[in-house]
C-alpha cells in the first residue's frame, strides 16, 4: 500500500480523501442550517435576542403550528396503524404470496409519489368534478359537497398525505414483521395462547420500538412537506411550512428574523421526531438479528 497510516504525512493524506464530501456538507447543509438557527436568536443588527422566538407566540403562527402538528400526528398515527395492517395482511394474512411483492413495489413508488402530482390526482378524483364525486352524484344521487366533505380542507389534505404515509410504513415495517420468528408463535401457542394473546403479549411488545420509531419518522415526513399542501389548497390552509414559504417569497410576517424563528421551530420538531426514530431504531434492530 502506498499510504501507510503510520507516517504523519500519510495520515494527513488519508484525511484528505473525505475533504470534498465534508466541504460539500459544510457549504450546502451545515452552514445554511446554522444560518437559520443562529438567525432565530439574533436581531437584524446581529446581537443576541429571544425576541424572535417570542414572536412565534402570536395567534396566527401558533394556529399554523397547531394545524401542522395535528396534521402530522394524525397522518403519522393513521399511517402507522393502516400500514401495519396492510403489511400484516400481505405478509401473514394467508393471502397469495405474489401480492407481497406487488405491494412492496407499489409502496416504493407511492411513497415517492408525493408533492404536486399527488395533489392533482386527488383533485381529479375527489375534487368538484372528480371521478368519485361524479359517480356518487350520477349513480347514487349523493352530493359529496353537500355532505360537508371538502377536499380543500384539513381532512382532504390528511387523506392525500396518507397516500405516501401508509406505503412508507409498509416499506419500513415489513422487515420488522419478517423478524417475528415462527417459533415465538409456536411457543406461545404451545403455552395455550390465542392469536389475539400472541399479538398482544409477544408480537406487539417486540414490534413496539419499530412502530414508535416509524411513527416519529412519518411525523417528520409530514411536518416538513409543503408541495402537496401548496398544490392542493393553495395557501388557504395555513400549515407552518406554507407560512414559511410565503415568508421567504414575500416577507409576509414583515420581519425577516421571525422567518428564521419559524424555520427553527420546524427543525426543532422534525429534529425531536428523528431523535426518537434513531434511538428506537437501534432498539428495534436487536430483534431483527
Partner 1 sequence: MKSGRIFSALFFGLACLYFLLPLVGTLEFSLRARRGEYSLDAYRNVLADPQFHQTIGYSFILSLATIVLGVLIVAPTAFWVRLKLPRLRPVVEFLTLMPLVIPPIVIVFGYIRLYNTSSWLPLLGSAAGSDFLLVCGYATLSLPYMYRAIDTGLRAIDVGTLTEAAQSLGAGWVTVLARVILPNILTAILSGAFLTFAIVIGEYVLAALLNRPAFGPYMVWMGGNKAYEPAALAVVAFGITWASMGLIQLFSRFSKHTQARR
CA angle 110-73-34, nearest 5°?
Answer: 90
Q: Is 36 in the site for partner 1 (CB under 8 A)?
A: yes
CB of 32 to partner 1, least distance (A): 3
Shortest distance, position 119 Cβ to partner 1, whole Å: 7
Total number of residues that touch partner 1 (CB under 8 A): 83
| Closest to 127 in 3D by CA, of 151, 103, 145 | 151
Q: According to the binding rule CB under 8 A, does residue 193 interact with partner 1?
A: no
Binding flag, residue 189, partner 1 (CB under 8 A):
no
- Sorted by sequence, the CB contacts under 8 Å of residue 175 that are 6+ apart come out as 288
Distance of CA 212 to the CA centre of its chain: 13
Residue 175 contacts partner 1 per CB under 8 A: no
Q: Which stretch binds partner 1 (CB under 8 A): 55-63, 127-135, 150-158, 175-183?
A: 127-135
Is residue 124 involved in binding partner 1 (CB under 8 A)? Answer: yes
Cα(170)–Cα(172) distance, rounded to whole angstroms? 6
Q: Which stretch binds partner 1 (CB under 8 A): 32-40, 56-64, 149-157, 175-183?
A: 32-40
Q: Which is nearer to partner 1, 230 or 280 (CB)?
A: 230
Among 147, 249, 250, 289, binds partner 1 (CB under 8 A): 249
Please report whether residue 126 would count as binding partner 1 according to CB under 8 A.
yes
Residues 132-151 that bind partner 1 (CB under 8 A): 132
How far is residue 262's CA from residue 267's CA, in Å, rounded to a whole number? Answer: 9
Segment lying near partner 1 (by CB under 8 A), choices 41-49, 150-158, 172-180, 263-271:
263-271
Per CB under 8 A, the segment of 45-53, 58-66, 128-136, 145-153 that binds partner 1 is: 128-136
Per CB under 8 A, contacts with partner 1 among 43-102 are 82, 85-86, 88-90, 93-95, 99
In the numeric block, which cell numbers belong to residue 199?
A: 399479538
Q: Which residue lies nearer to partner 1 by CB, 15 or 139?
A: 15
The residue within the footprint of partner 1, chosen from 61, 119, 188, 237 (CB under 8 A), is 119
Phi-psi sector, 46: left (phi>0), alpha (psi -120 to 50), beta: left
Provide, rounded to whole angstroms, the least separation between the CB of residue 200 and partner 1.
15
Amino acid at each position: 500500500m502506498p499510504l501507510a497510516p503510520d507516517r504523519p504525512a500519510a495520515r494527513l493524506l488519508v484525511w484528505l480523501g473525505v475533504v470534498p464530501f465534508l466541504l460539500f456538507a459544510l457549504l450546502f447543509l451545515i452552514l445554511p442550517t446554522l444560518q437559520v438557527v443562529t438567525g432565530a436568536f439574533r436581531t437584524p443588527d446581529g446581537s443576541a435576542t429571544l425576541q424572535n422566538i417570542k414572536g412565534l407566540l402570536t395567534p396566527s403562527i401558533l394556529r399554523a403550528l397547531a394545524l401542522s402538528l395535528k396534521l402530522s400526528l394524525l397522518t403519522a398515527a393513521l399511517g402507522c396503524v393502516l400500514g401495519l395492517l396492510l403489511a400484516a395482511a400481505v405478509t401473514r394474512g394467508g393471502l397469495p404470496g405474489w401480492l407481497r411483492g406487488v405491494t412492496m413495489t407499489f409502496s416504493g413508488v407511492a411513497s415517492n409519489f408525493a408533492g404536486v402530482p399527488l395533489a392533482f390526482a386527488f383533485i381529479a378524483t375527489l375534487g368538484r368534478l372528480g371521478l368519485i364525486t361524479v359517480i356518487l352524484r350520477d349513480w347514487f344521487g349523493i352530493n359529496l359537497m353537500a355532505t360537508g366533505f371538502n377536499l380543500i380542507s384539513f381532512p382532504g389534505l390528511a387523506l392525500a398525505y396518507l397516500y405516501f404515509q401508509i406505503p412508507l410504513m409498509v416499506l419500513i415495517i415489513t422487515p420488522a414483521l419478517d423478524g417475528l420468528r415462527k417459533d415465538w408463535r409456536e411457543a406461545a401457542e404451545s403455552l395455550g395462547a390465542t392469536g389475539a394473546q400472541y399479538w398482544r403479549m409477544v408480537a406487539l411488545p417486540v414490534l413496539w420500538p419499530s412502530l414508535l420509531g416509524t411513527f416519529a419518522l412519518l411525523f417528520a415526513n409530514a411536518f416538513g412537506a409543503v408541495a402537496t399542501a401548496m398544490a392542493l389548497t393553495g395557501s388557504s390552509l395555513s400549515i407552518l411550512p406554507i407560512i414559511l414559504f410565503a415568508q421567504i417569497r414575500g416577507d409576509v410576517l414583515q420581519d425577516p428574523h421571525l422567518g428564521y424563528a419559524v424555520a427553527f421551530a420546524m427543525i426543532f420538531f422534525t429534529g425531536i421526531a428523528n431523535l426518537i426514530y434513531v434511538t428506537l431504531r437501534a432498539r428495534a434492530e436487536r430483534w431483527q438479528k
